[in-house]
């Protein structure tokens, strides 16, 4: 196959257990987000908008909907000759079958895919992050540094720094130390889990790592510390824009709320760097004669007869008469029946809150209420 400058490998196989019921039937990257998108739309759109046309998506946990959604990548204009989106799942060999044992092992098991495209560099991405990033700029920095590995980092509040992988760099942006979740952080530059590797270095390291019985086969835990130990040229690329991990129920809810307001932190409406999605064709939404809709995002196919404030109504969501929805996210097809009251809640796809039932609490010390896909919330629940 042809020589490529850069291909992307998107890690989309994790269970996403911190999203609880949202990932019960569905892989995390396929979870609906922002009214009409699925989480994987963000990295795939970033690839398309950055001119990266070859993406391997590594899947393992409940991949059906994710595979069906990705298709051949045409929804992101990635169906280019000799390129496109390829889903890569665990497979059998003459030695038997084994699952992906870690992020590095997932890539290691798909070295064939990388070699077939013979790229100069490999971009490693996660499937659970919301951000808009031009990877071409990161690639330019990687090349300018003649780096073996470039790690995208962003400054986080100092009080949060101990929750992240923290990097210390010198004046030339070269990494001098990597501390995984340090108790006393000496920097606030957090790894975003976005890496560009020199392809040859990556393959050599992955092969060595696979032979190492003590390794847990993880980029953050094994590969990066080893590269630093060997004094390989590892650099950071500092990213300043909006970036969120939406891997927990709390962060999913908070990031959803970040899309609302007069000047949202993440602008869905810019045409320069559009977020593309594999949409189903649904008609415009309808707002009824008595409805009140304030500070909301509402997608096609929704029908609103009650009051909805500071919330996201995804495709085909329904809010009945006298119902109230506040500070909540209704995923596609979720139904809030007449007189029900939903507050600070996430309703999964096609979940139903029965008539006059209250779901969720305004008390912010309590967890965000969550109903999984297809769950019916009746009285006494």
Partner 1 sequence: MKSKAIGLITANYKTNVPCALSKRRPMAGLPFAGRYRLIDFPLSNMVNAGIRTVGMIVPQNYRSLLDHVGTGRDWMLDRKNGGLFILPGTVYGGTHEGFRFLLRDIIDNKAFLIRDTADYVVLSGSNMVVNFDLKAAIVAHEASGNTATIVCHRASAINDDTTALVTDGDTVTALKKGVKYGDLESLDYCIFNRDDLIDVLENFADADYLSLEEAAFKSEAHYKIGYWEFDGYAAGVFDAKSYYNRTMDIRKPEVYYALFNPDRTIFTKAHDAPPAKYFKGSVVRDSLVSAGCRISGTVRNSALGRGVIIEPGAVVTNSIVMQSCVVQSGARIENAIIDRYNLIPSGTEMRGTPDDILIKEKAEYV
Give contact residues for partner 1 (rule: CB under 8 A).
34-36, 75, 262, 268-269, 274-277, 279-291, 293-301, 303, 312-314
Phi, psi (degrees; rounded to nearest 5) at 104: -70, -35
Least distance between partner 1 and beta carbon 186 (Å): 40
Position of tokens 């809810």?
253
CA 259 – CA 156 distance, rounded (Å): 20
Please list the residues that pair with 58 across neighbouring strands.
Answer: 11, 88
Least distance between partner 1 and beta carbon 328 (Å): 15
Comparing CB distances to partner 1, the nearer of 173 and 316 is 316
Comparing CB distances to partner 1, the nearer of 70 and 161 is 70
Q: Please give the DSSP secondary-structure letter assigned to residue 69.
A: H
> Strand, helix or coil at 71?
coil
Q: How many CA atoms lie within 13 A of 261 on its CB side?
A: 11
The distance of Cα 140 from the centroid of its chain, to the nearest Å, equals 24
Least distance between partner 1 and beta carbon 299 (Å): 4
Least distance between partner 1 and beta carbon 338 (Å): 14
Least distance between partner 1 and beta carbon 290 (Å): 8
Comparing CB distances to partner 1, the nearer of 13 and 301 is 301
Q: Please give the DSSP secondary-structure letter assigned to residue 313.
A: E
Three-state SS string over 115-152 comes to: HHHCEEEEEEEECCEEECCCHHHHHHHHHHCCCCEEEE
| Cα distances (Å, whole numbers) of residue 103 to 56, 215, 225 | 13, 12, 15
Least distance between partner 1 and beta carbon 36 (Å): 5
> Strand, helix or coil at 79?
coil
Comparing CB distances to partner 1, the nearer of 282 and 322 is 282
The distance of Cα 313 from the centroid of its chain, to the nearest Å, equals 20
Least distance between partner 1 and beta carbon 269 (Å): 6
Comparing CB distances to partner 1, the nearer of 111 and 276 is 276
Comparing CB distances to partner 1, the nearer of 75 and 122 is 75
Q: Please give the DSSP secondary-structure letter assigned to residue 348.
A: -
Least distance between partner 1 and beta carbon 110 (Å): 29
Comparing CB distances to partner 1, the nearer of 183 and 262 is 262
Three-state SS string over 217-284 comes to: CCHHHHHHHHHHHCCCCEEEEECCCCEEECCCHHHHHHHHHCCCCCCCCCCCCCCCCCCCCCCCCCCC
Least distance between partner 1 and beta carbon 276 (Å): 5
- Spatial contact of 58 and 11, defined as CB atoms under 8 Å apart: yes
Per the structure block, which two tokens stand in for 108? 């290691």
Comparing CB distances to partner 1, the nearer of 229 and 269 is 269
Comparing CB distances to partner 1, the nearer of 215 and 314 is 314
Position of tokens 């779901």?
359
């Amino acid at each position: 196959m042809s020589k490529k400058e850069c291909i992307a490998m998107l890690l989309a196989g994790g269970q996403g257990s911190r999203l609880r019921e949202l990932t019960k039937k569905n892989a995390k990257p396929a979870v609906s987000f922002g009214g009409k998108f699925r989480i994987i739309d963000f990295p795939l759109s970033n690839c398309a908008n950055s001119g990266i046309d070859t993406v391997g998506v590594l899947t393992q946990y409940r991949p059906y909907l994710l595979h069906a959604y990705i298709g051949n990548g045409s929804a992101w204009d990635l169906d280019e000759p000799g390129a496109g989106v390829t889903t890569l799942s665990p497979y059998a060999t003459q030695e038997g079958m084994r699952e992906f044992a870690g992020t590095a092992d997932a890539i290691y098991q798909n070295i064939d895919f990388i070699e077939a495209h013979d790229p100069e560099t490999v971009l490693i991405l996660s499937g659970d992050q919301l951000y808009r990033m031009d990877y071409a700029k990161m690639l330019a920095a990687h090349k300018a540094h003649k780096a073996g590995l470039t790690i995208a980092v962003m400054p986080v509040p100092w009080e949060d720094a101990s929750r992240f992988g923290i990097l210390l760099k010198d004046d030339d942006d070269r990494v001098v130390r990597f501390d995984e979740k340090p108790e006393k952080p000496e920097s606030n530059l957090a790894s975003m889990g976005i890496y560009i590797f020199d392809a040859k270095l990556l393959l050599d390291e992955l092969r060595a790592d696979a032979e190492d019985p003590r390794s847990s086969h993880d980029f953050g835990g094994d590969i990066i510390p080893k590269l630093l130990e060997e004094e390989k040229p590892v650099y950071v690329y500092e990213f300043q824009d909006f970036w969120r991990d939406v891997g927990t129920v709390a962060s999913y809810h908070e990031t959803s709320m970040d899309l609302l307001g007069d000047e949202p932190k993440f602008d869905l409406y810019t045409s320069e760097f559009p977020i593309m999605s594999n949409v189903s064709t649904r008609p415009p939404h309808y707002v009824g004669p008595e409805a009140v809709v304030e500070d909301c995002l509402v997608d096609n196919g929704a029908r609103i007869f009650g009051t909805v404030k500071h919330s996201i109504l995804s495709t085909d969501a329904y809010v009945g008469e006298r119902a109230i929805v506040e500070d909540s996210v209704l995923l596609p097809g979720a139904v809030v029946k007449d007189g029900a009251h939903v507050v600070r809640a996430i309703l999964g796809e096609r979940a139903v809150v029965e008539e006059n039932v209250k779901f969720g609490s305004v008390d912010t010390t309590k967890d965000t209420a969550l109903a999984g896909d297809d769950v019916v919330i009746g009285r006494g629940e």
